[in-house]
């Protein structure tokens, strides 16, 4: 295991000169941090995604490019000497302008990856220069030389073995001599073409890099001081959790807690790399450690809320004492690459929720052709405007009275689906979106306050 940490800074942490300076101070105060993974500056990826979708109005497109330029020029203007990196930033902005014109003619996933990757490429040029001006021996490194993926543009899968080999050759020796600043979110396929890991993939790529260099720790610096018992915007008395297990944190990420990307913990878990989550705005407030084992494993640990859920109910009286129906259903879904999240069954019906497979934030749709195919087997009902609440904890199904404590609080709410017992770490239920926040608030009061 390498005797250094990997630190990842999100978009709000590198949003402007002041934010980047706070990040630099964190690195100065943590000499064991030798590898830094940075997101694009806040707001940049959204601009690039808009351009990648093809903005055909010339004025609108130029306005977005000028916004992009203004974000970076504002930081460059506060550096003591930007002459070495300003031409590189300008070249990348020109690249964005050229690609955005191509996107007006033909939008492709490959072009989109090339375009949106420019955000991280620009932020790391600036961040490395800012670090050098503070007396830190920092070098910028292009992570595409190490993070090898397949060619699934927009949601590339990493090649762990190749990434590890390339990290040993190109990255670890550099970290022994310098503080290395590199990009999150992006990689390259075997042909050297730029790929991305999907929106929110900076955390995931940081964890993959930490695994590849066998780091002793991974720090995720964001805009909140750690993982909370629930979203403080919903429950004002939500409190930070000092320590949480990988299993609990994985459940929270999977069920909607936005503090960590759902895939982030997999590489850390594989190599048992402890993960720290803290706020770059207030590092003195501490944060949350995510570890393999923790001293305390309470019955109820946290609440997560995931909006924009779609429930599909399949009814067929012929299911009664029959076999093969579920196999037929999942064969159809698998053929169309539709992923299922939760599922409950009765003698004559099945209810399931569709997994959120894209990054739009919208509720997933059941494609019309899939619906028609399912209707050859059964009656199909689709319900949207639903939210999923997940209560995260430990051995809840083994503790008498735990369900009563939860459902007593929820007796005034109409629960559309309940999933309990499949995992010792969660109890999930589906309800109408317009009452979901109130349900979370009441559960937090009764179970955590």
Q: Over 90: is that where the pLDDT of 89 sits?
A: yes
Higher pLDDT, 278 or 360: 278
Tell me phi and psi for residue 2, to 5 degrees: -70, 145
CATH class of 301-448: alpha beta
**Structure tokens given for 291:** 């570890």
pLDDT at 397 over 90: no
pLDDT at 359: 46
**Is residue 35 predicted with pLDDT exceeding 70?**
yes
Residue span(s) of the chain under CATH 3.30.2130.10 come to 301-448
Look at residue 147 and give its three-state secondary structure.
Answer: coil
What is the rounded end-to-end Cα distance, in angstroms, of the chain? 41
Helices (H) and strands (E) in the chain, counts: 15, 16
Fold of 216-295: Carbamate kinase (3.40.1160)
Residue with token string 């010339």: 58
pLDDT for the residue 339: 84
Q: Which residues have a Cβ under 8 Å from the Cβ of 203 and sit 6 or more positions away? A: 8, 10, 184, 220, 260, 261, 263, 264
Binding residue numbers: 8-11, 45, 120, 222-223, 228, 233
Residue 320 pLDDT > 70: no
Domain with CATH 3.40.1160.10 in the chain: 8-211, 216-295
Which has the higher per-residue pLDDT, 402 or 176? 176
β-pairing, 275-279 with 287-291? antiparallel
- pLDDT reported for residue 357: 47
Q: Which residues are annotated as a binding site for ATP?
A: 8-11, 222-223, 228, 233
pLDDT tens profile 200-234:
788 999 999 999 999 999 999 998 889 999 999 99
8 A C-beta contact, residue 280 and residue 16: no
Q: How far is CA 282 from the centre of its chain?
A: 22
Q: Residues, the chain, total?
A: 449
pTM here? 0.85
Q: In this predicted model, what pLDDT tens digit does every residue of 108-117 receive, in sequence order?
A: 999 999 999 9
Backbone φ and ψ of 24, nearest 5°:
-60, -40
Q: Give the long-range contacts of residues 30-34, CB within 8 A, separation 24 or more.
A: 30/5, 30/219, 32/3, 32/4, 32/5, 32/216, 32/217, 33/4, 33/5, 33/6, 33/7, 33/179, 33/219, 34/4, 34/5, 34/175, 34/176, 34/178, 34/179, 34/180
CB-CB contact of 6 with 210 (8 Å)? yes
- Which of these CATH numbers, 3.30.70.2860, 3.90.1150.10, 3.30.565.10, 3.40.1160.10, describes 8-211? 3.40.1160.10
Annotated binding site for substrate: 45, 120
Residues 6+ apart with CB under 8 A from 68: 44, 47, 48, 93, 96
List CB contacts of 427: < 8 A, sequence separation 6 or more.
390, 391, 393, 396, 403, 406, 418, 419, 420
Q: How confident is the model at residue 157 (pLDDT cuts 50, 70, 90)?
A: very high
> Taking 70 as the threshold, does the pLDDT of residue 420 lie above it?
yes
């Amino acid at each position: 295991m390498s005797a250094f940490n990997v630190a990842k800074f999100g978009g709000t942490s590198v949003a402007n000169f002041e934010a980047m300076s706070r990040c630099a101070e964190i690195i100065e105060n943590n000499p064991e941090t030798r590898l830094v993974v940075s997101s694009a500056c806040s707001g940049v990826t959204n601009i690039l995604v808009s351009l990648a979708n093809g903005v055909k109005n010339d004025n609108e497109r130029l306005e977005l490019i000028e916004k992009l330029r203004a974000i970076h020029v504002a930081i460059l203007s506060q550096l003591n000497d930007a002459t070495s990196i300003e031409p590189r930033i300008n070249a990348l902005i020109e690249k964005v302008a050229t690609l955005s014109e191509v996107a007006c003619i033909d939008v492709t996933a490959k072009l989109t990856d090339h375009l949106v990757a420019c955000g991280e490429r620009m932020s790391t040029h600036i961040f490395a220069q800012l670090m050098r001006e503070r007396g830190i021996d920092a070098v910028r490194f292009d992570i595409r030389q190490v993070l090898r993926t397949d060619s699934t543009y927009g949601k590339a899968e990493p090649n762990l073995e190749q990434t590890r080999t390339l990290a040993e050759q190109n990255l670890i020796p550099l970290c022994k001599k310098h503080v290395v600043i590199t990009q999150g979110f992006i990689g390259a396929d075997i042909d050297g073409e730029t790929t991305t890991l999907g929106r929110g993939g900076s955390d995931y790529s940081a964890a993959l890099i930490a695994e590849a260099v066998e780091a002793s720790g991974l720090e995720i610096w964001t805009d909140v001081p750690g993982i909370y018992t629930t979203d403080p915007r919903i429950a004002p008395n939500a409190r930070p959790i000092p320590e949480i297990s990988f299993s609990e944190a994985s459940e929270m990420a999977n069920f909607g807690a936005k503090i960590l990307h759902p895939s982030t913990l997999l590489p850390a878990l594989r190599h048992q790399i402890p993960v720290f989550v803290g706020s770059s705005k207030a590092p003195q407030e501490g944060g949350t450690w995510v570890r393999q084992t923790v001293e305390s494993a309470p019955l109820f640990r946290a609440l997560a809320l995931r909006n924009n859920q779609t429930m599909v109910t399949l009814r067929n009286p012929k299911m009664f004492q029959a076999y093969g129906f579920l196999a037929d259903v999942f064969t159809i879904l698998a053929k169309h690459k539709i992923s299922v999240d939760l599922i409950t069954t009765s003698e004559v019906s099945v209810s399931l929720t569709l997994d959120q497979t894209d990054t739009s934030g919208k509720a997933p749709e059941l494609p019309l052709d899939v619906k028609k195919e399912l209707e050859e087997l059964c009656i199909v009902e689709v319900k949207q405007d639903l939210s999923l609440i997940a209560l995260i904890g430990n051995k809840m199904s083994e503790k008498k009275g735990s369900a009563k404590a939860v459902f007593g609080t929820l007796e005034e709410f109409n629960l559309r689906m309940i999933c309990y017992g499949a995992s010792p770490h969660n109890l999930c239920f589906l309800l109408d979106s317009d009452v979901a926040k109130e349900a979370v608030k009441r559960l937090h009061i009764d179970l955590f306050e």
